[in-house]
Amino acid sequence: MTSPIVPSAPVSSESIAHGSDQTSAAPFTARVRSAVLWRWGAQVGSQLITWTSTFLVVRLLEPTDYGLFAMSQVVLTALAFLNGQSFATSLIQASHVDERRIAQVFGMLLTFACALAAVQVALAPFAAKYFGEPVVADMLFVQAIIYLTIPFIALPTALLSRGLEFRRQAQSNMAGASLGAIIAPTLGYLGYGVWALVYAGVAIFVARAVLLSLAAQLWLRPAFDPRGAADLIAFGGLLTLSQLFWIIQSQADIVIAGRLLPTYELGLYSQALFLTLIITGRLLPPINEVAMAAYSELHREGRPLAPYFLKTARLVMMVCAPAYVGLALTSEAAILTLMGEQWRGSAPIVGGLALVMPAFALHLICAPVTNAMGRARVSLFTAICGAIIMPCAFVWGIEAGTMGLVHAWWIAAPLLCAITLTVTLPRIGASPLDLLRELLPVALGCGLMTLGVTALQSASDLAPPLTLLASAALGAVIYALTLWLVWRPAVVEAWAMLRSSSPSDSPTASA
């Protein structure tokens, strides 16, 4: 039996399940737009704050400090997928949510948090011995605090997301990033060395935990009795397994290449991969979080999800596809302009990886729609496929060096995308022809853009910065004109989604 501890007005079970009256009364489209703008805007803002702080701190610390910090991150990354956050995610899609079920999830999160903190403390001396750095043990002792903050981040995040309330999440995340950006350079300037990174990281998590708990305005005593929560446990467990297989898939190339490639070639590949994954790694996660919450609400109302998924796919590919095709066309000019002559060797890697990233992006946006329907086994199946296909492809390709890894991506990513679409589309009531119809104008625009930019580069011999600028401008004009002439209603609809048509549709009002 649990009793709510509410600092202000009590929160009813109905408001927990459906959001506040103010939120529910707002038009669904306006709420989704607000959620996207707040979540994505916070992501961009937090990254800018983090990168600015990193630029300052890197001038204050030694490379050995970052080496020590990387050693501790190996342990944190290895344990993080077991933090139980997937059980909080299960609340977003659940058809029935009340105070008891929230308290049960809270109890699960606390159990996992305490267990992981204890495991990390126990492993710390062994990790320090393995790396030959005694200070690593002390760092891991302090960083164990991070696990204890997860319940107070994951639970409020899930409850706010269930009501498509991302404004307060964005404010909390930005505040945490700002605090870390102040602490890290300050402690670095004061001579704390690697501890500037450790304390700043812990402070970010603590700040987010406090602010998100206050933002959710719901306090419950945890319940450690799992009776009646079998569906939440099953769903969260499947998502946790999916995360495990995702880690295998996403780290396989670096793990394999790290043992078989020279350090120089590994550096070229890892930086090229980082550059090409910026869009899928930074743009899509916020979109997927909002999509999961929106799909869940629609599914609870009994509405078909196929039209909304197709619109999401269309919007994502309208941005991702031309960006990646443009990067493939201008990879050498972009690398020389942004990174310098010493990175010229990464240009063909960037160009090759960029070609296949649209298929990878399409694969990534499928999981939220089936998870929102409570079909976590679908995303688990695709995660298992990825954990098999990607490593096997990399083992095959590594014999040819870095470009062999690129060729492995060419095979593995489209294959994984095809498998994902095969198991996803029938379950939401969509057909491959429906998806093809939505994406065909995007493909046409990218094709014409490719012809125009290739012709420009063949006819001119400009310096890399001018080549990059001219190619980007011409490509953007050709692509935009193609969509406007061939697909004007979709462009108008996309623009309407991103702008506020009335004061009541503004991010603040609708959120």
67, part of any domain:
yes
Indicate whether 252 pLDDT > 50. Answer: yes
In the prediction, which pLDDT does 4 show?
29
Q: How many CA atoms lie within 13 A of 383 on its CB side?
A: 18
Q: How many CA atoms lie within 13 A of 500 on its CB side?
A: 15
248, part of any domain:
no
Indicate whether 430 pLDDT > 90. Answer: yes
Q: Are residues 212 and 285 in the same domain?
A: no
**If you ran DSSP here, which 8-state letter would residue 506 be given?**
S
Of the residues 228, 245, 275, which one is the last residue of a structural domain? 228
Angle at alpha carbon of residue 332, lines to 331 and 334, rounded to 5°: 65
Of the residues 207, 228, 249, which one is the last residue of a structural domain? 228
261, part of any domain:
yes
Q: Are residues 326 and 206 in the same domain?
A: no
Quickly tell me which residue has 């929230």 as its tokens.
102
Q: Are residues 289 and 380 in the same domain?
A: yes
Q: Are residues 214 and 301 in the same domain?
A: no
| Choice between 26 and 329, residue whose per-residue pLDDT is larger | 329
Q: Are residues 207 and 344 in the same domain?
A: no
Indicate whether 14 pLDDT > 60. Answer: no
SS3 220: strand
Angle at alpha carbon of residue 444, lines to 349 and 272, rounded to 5°: 15
**If you ran DSSP here, which 8-state letter would residue 7 be given?**
S
Of the residues 191, 213, 228, which one is the last residue of a structural domain? 228
Per the structure, how many domains does the chain have?
Answer: 2
Indicate whether 209 pLDDT > 60. Answer: yes
247, part of any domain:
no
Q: Are 420 and 384 in contact (CB under 8 A)?
A: no
How do residues 345-355 score in pLDDT, each as one tens digit?
Answer: 889 999 999 99
Q: Are residues 207 and 295 in the same domain?
A: no
Angle at alpha carbon of residue 4, lines to 2 and 7, rounded to 5°: 160
310, part of any domain:
yes
How do residues 296-325 score in pLDDT, each as one tens digit?
Answer: 888 988 899 999 999 889 989 998 999 999
How is residue 50 written in tokens? 């983090």
CA-wise closest residue to 374 among 310, 420, 427, 435: 427
Query: From CA 57, how far away is CA 11, in angstroms rounded?
Result: 43
353-373: average pLDDT: 94
**If you ran DSSP here, which 8-state letter would residue 279 be given?**
I
**If you ran DSSP here, which 8-state letter would residue 401 be given?**
-
Q: Are residues 363 and 221 in the same domain?
A: no
How is residue 36 written in tokens? 């996207």
Q: Which domain holds residue 165?
A: 13-228
161, part of any domain:
yes
228-236: average pLDDT: 82
Residue 123, beta-bridge partner list? none
Q: Are residues 190 and 287 in the same domain?
A: no
Q: Are residues 223 and 264 in the same domain?
A: no
Indicate whether 326 pLDDT > 90. Answer: yes
147, part of any domain:
yes
Amino acid at 188: G
Q: Are residues 183 and 276 in the same domain?
A: no
Query: From CA 198, how far away is CA 192, in angstroms rounded?
Result: 10
98, part of any domain:
yes
Indicate whether 3 pLDDT > 80. Answer: no
CA-wise closest residue to 460 among 349, 323, 330, 324: 330
In the prediction, which pLDDT does 499 show?
61
- For the chain, the distance separating the N- and C-terminal CA atoms, rounded to the nearest angstrom, is 33
How is residue 45 written in tokens? 């803002």
Q: Are residues 365 and 431 in the same domain?
A: yes
How do residues 431-486 score in pLDDT, each as one tens digit?
Answer: 999 999 999 999 999 999 999 999 999 988 889 899 999 999 999 999 999 999 98
Q: Are residues 267 and 221 in the same domain?
A: no
